[in-house]
Amino acid sequence: MELFVALGGEASVRALVDMFYDVMDRDPRFALLRSLHPPDLTESRDKLHWFLVGWTGGPQMYVERRGHPRLRARHLPFPIGTVERDLWLGCMDVAIDRCVSDVPAARALREGFSKVADHMRNQQPGA
């Protein structure tokens, strides 16, 4: 199953990204996560959209615009520990619940995001 197609293509990936940032911006449970982002989320939304389109099997929009994602290196300036990882995953879970009706696609997203989010940690537990 190509995840990009199962999700419904680029517009559906954009809807997921927009829901993620809307939840992060409005839900007080994710205030710490929100504080790690700039006041204007436009560029953050675009970058995650471009990345996820390619990551799910669609066109390599991020690579075409910004080069190799180098996710961990690009996120090193931000403290990402277990708490931040779990907040990101929790916020994305809400977005997936609201935007992704295909159960296998939702499962694939959660599994993939869990691996990537864990890899992004750059703080030791308790730091």
Q: What is the residue extent of each domain of the chain?
A: 3-120
Mean pLDDT of all residues in 6-29:
97
Cα–Cα distance measured from residue 80 to residue 82, given in angstroms and rounded to the nearest whole number? 7
Instruction: Give 21-78 pLDDT, tens digit per residue.
Output: 999 999 999 999 999 999 999 999 999 999 999 999 999 988 888 777 666 556 656 7
Give the CATH H-level superfamily of domain 3-120.
Globins (1.10.490.10)
Residue 125 has pLDDT above 80, yes or no: no
Of the candidates 99, 77, 78, the one whose C-alpha atom is nearest the C-alpha of residue 16 is 99
pLDDT over 90 percentage in the chain: 73
